[in-house]
Amino acid sequence: MSLVQPRPISAPDLQLWLQGDAPSPRVLDVREAQELMMAKFPTDVLHLPLSASSEWIETLQSRLVPNQPVVVLCHAGVRSHHFGLWLLDQAWGLEVWNLEGGIDAWSTQVDDTVPRY
């Protein structure tokens, strides 16, 4: 197991980052398609459903911009944390963050119009 971990970020801090003047991170959503239909993240995301990894794994590195931080999200922050670990293990030099509490935390702490499931 890697000693390097994704950096945790809270939903309110991610909101500030996305609304601020600093360059925005690339948001990767690893939830399944039906989860996105229930609760969409309110900004542009790269949707990478983990169950379909065989469809996107070969092109993933080319879809990421060097030096652009990556924030990974899922429903509660567990799948995204594991995916963040995998990203860091690829040694692509990415700055990887994990949205603590996932879309559920976004709904309860930032935007209650995003449905909870």
pLDDT beyond 60 at 2? no
pLDDT in tens, 22-73: 999 999 999 999 999 999 999 999 999 999 999 999 999 999 998 999 999 9
- Residues with catalytic roles: 74
Residues 6 or more apart whose CB falls under 8 angstroms from that of 105 comprise 10, 11, 76, 77, 99
pTM of the model: 0.94
